[in-house]
């Protein structure tokens, strides 16, 4: 498979379009040739709105299709506290990693998908309980 040229404006435009369509707020790609960061204004992870308003755990859903990955091995240990800006994991699409932000502060209590699984738009990935 040929390497993708992340400095190509067409590639950047394509990725931006995909992220915008999926409602993702940004991504960062690191490769031997450098680093690319795209930030889409107005986007946010797809989070269950109903959960925000209730005492039920907030469910973090996949904002697009991709291969689910944890951020690092330490993040596999549950439960643990998280801040809204924390990255809980990624969706991998080829060389691209799309960060999955918590979106809420609280206790990350459950992981609903095994790492390495192909997930679709809206699939439930994590549960975060409000901190008492």
Least Å distance, CB 12 to other proteins, is 14
Least Å distance, CB 124 to other proteins, is 11
DSSP summary character for residue 76: G
Residue tagged 């960060």 (tokens): 99
Long-range contacts of 27-33 (CB under 8 A, 24+ apart): 27/96, 27/97, 27/98, 27/99, 28/97, 28/99, 29/95, 29/96, 29/97, 31/3, 31/6, 31/95, 33/6, 33/7
Q: Is 115 in the site for other proteins (CB under 8 A)?
A: no
- Cβ closest to other proteins, residue 90 vs residue 107: 90
Nearest Cα neighbor of 64 from 100, 29, 22, 104 is 22
The residues pairing with 75 across neighbouring beta strands, listed in sequence order, are: none
Binding to other proteins (CB under 8 A): which residues in 10-69?
14, 17-18, 21-22, 64-67
Q: Would you give the binding string for other proteins spanning residues 84-113, x where CB under 8 A is met?
A: ---------xx-------------------
Least Å distance, CB 51 to other proteins, is 16
Q: Would you give the binding string for other proteins spanning residues 61-80, x where CB under 8 A is met?
A: ---xxxx-------------
Q: Report the interface residues with other proteins, using CB under 8 A.
A: 14, 17-18, 21-22, 64-67, 93-94, 118, 120-123
């Amino acid at each position: 498979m040929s390497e993708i040229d992340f400095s190509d404006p067409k590639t950047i435009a394509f990725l931006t379009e995909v992220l915008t369509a999926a409602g993702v707020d940004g991504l960062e790609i690191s490769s031997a040739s450098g680093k690319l960061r795209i930030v889409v204004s107005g986007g946010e992870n797809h989070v269950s709105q109903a959960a925000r308003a209730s005492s039920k755990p907030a469910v973090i859903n996949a904002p697009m299709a991709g291969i689910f990955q944890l951020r690092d091995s330490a993040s596999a240990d549950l439960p643990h506290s998280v801040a809204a800006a924390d990255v809980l994991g990624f969706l991998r699409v080829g060389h691209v990693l799309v960060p999955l932000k918590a979106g809420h502060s609280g206790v990350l209590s459950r992981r609903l998908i095994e790492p390495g699984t192909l997930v679709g738009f809206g699939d439930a990935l994590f549960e975060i309980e409000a901190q008492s």
